[in-house]
Amino acid sequence: MATEPRPDRAAAPASKRGSTLILIAFALALAGIVAATVAFLPRGDRPSALSVVGGPFRLDSSKGGTVDSRALKGKPFLVFFGFTQCPNVCPTTLADLGTLLDEFGAQGGAIQAYYITLDPERDTQEVMREYMASFTDRITGLTGTPQEIERVARDYRAFVKRVPLPGGDYTLEHTLMVYMMDRDGGFAGPLDLEAGHALALKQLRKLAADGRNT
């Protein structure tokens, strides 16, 4: 997670230390949500902790048309939240993820990734199309109505906060994590890009292999 003000409007506090603190806060909040959700379920129906993260969506694609998560059944995928006016962390993560996916593709792997905007008022389908053209086509940008985006963010337990800037503009503080989703649409864990591509590739290979023969 990271705080992302625009550099020409306010000083950028998105330091690595700040990002780490926000990520820790998100992890603690997620743990609380998981515990509360599981605690109130009947004993025989309790899901795994990770299964409470994620949910169905149908959003407008930067490649045209829509992406319906029901069509992803049986296919693992990645999800990353952000916004196109994010000055540093989002584009850096997208570039790094794109390189990783290209490496994975060169090894014969295939996992689609989806970049879901948290700023649907500004990030229209056309804006997303132009923005995503700077990255690999293995990553698809998704947008929708404010209500649709709010629902997806809630289902994925993604933190987002609108922060006013001088002059009436705004930026967003938000979760910075690449979600690995399994073939059933369940949360398999975060993709670790910071540890290096060797480990991240190992994670992708395991994600792609799990459940293949089930």
pLDDT tens-digit series, residues 106-125:
999 999 999 999 999 999 99
Q: What is the pLDDT of residue 149?
A: 98
The CATH number given to whatever domain includes residue 170 is 3.40.30.10
Decide if 46 is inside a domain: no
Decide if 172 is inside a domain: yes
Decide if 3 is inside a domain: no
Interatomic CA distance for residues 131 and 103, integer angstroms: 22
Average pLDDT, the chain: 81
Q: What is the pLDDT of residue 28?
A: 40
Structure tokens at 59: 């959003």
* Burial 60-87, CB ≥16 within 10 A → b, else e: bbbeeeebebeebeeebbbbbbbbbbbb
Decide if 201 is inside a domain: yes
For residue 30, pLDDT beyond 80:
no
Instruction: Report, in angstroms and rounded to the nearest whole number, the Rg of the chain calculated over CA atoms.
Output: 17
Decide if 51 is inside a domain: no
Interatomic CA distance for residues 51 and 189, integer angstroms: 10
Q: Which of residues 38 and 49 earns the better pLDDT score?
A: 49
Q: Residue 189 — φ and ψ, nearest 5°?
A: 130, 170
* Alpha-carbon separation of residue 65 from 56, 110, 129, 193 (angstroms): 17, 21, 11, 30
* Helix 89-106 × helix 197-209 angle, to 10°: 60
Q: By CB neighbour count within 10 A (0-12 exposed, 13-18 middle, 19+ buried), where does 48 fall? A: exposed
For residue 2, pLDDT beyond 70:
no
State pTM to two decimals: 0.77
Decide if 48 is inside a domain: no
- 178 in helix, strand or coil? strand
What is the tally of structural domains in the chain? 1
Parent domain of 172: 12-34+56-209
Decide if 42 is inside a domain: no
Q: What is the pLDDT of residue 65?
A: 97
Interatomic CA distance for residues 22 and 3, integer angstroms: 8
User: 99: phi > 0 → left, psi -120 to 50 → alpha, else beta; which?
Assistant: alpha
For residue 177, pLDDT beyond 80:
yes
Place 163 in a pLDDT band, splitting at 50, 70 and 90.
very high
Decide if 39 is inside a domain: no
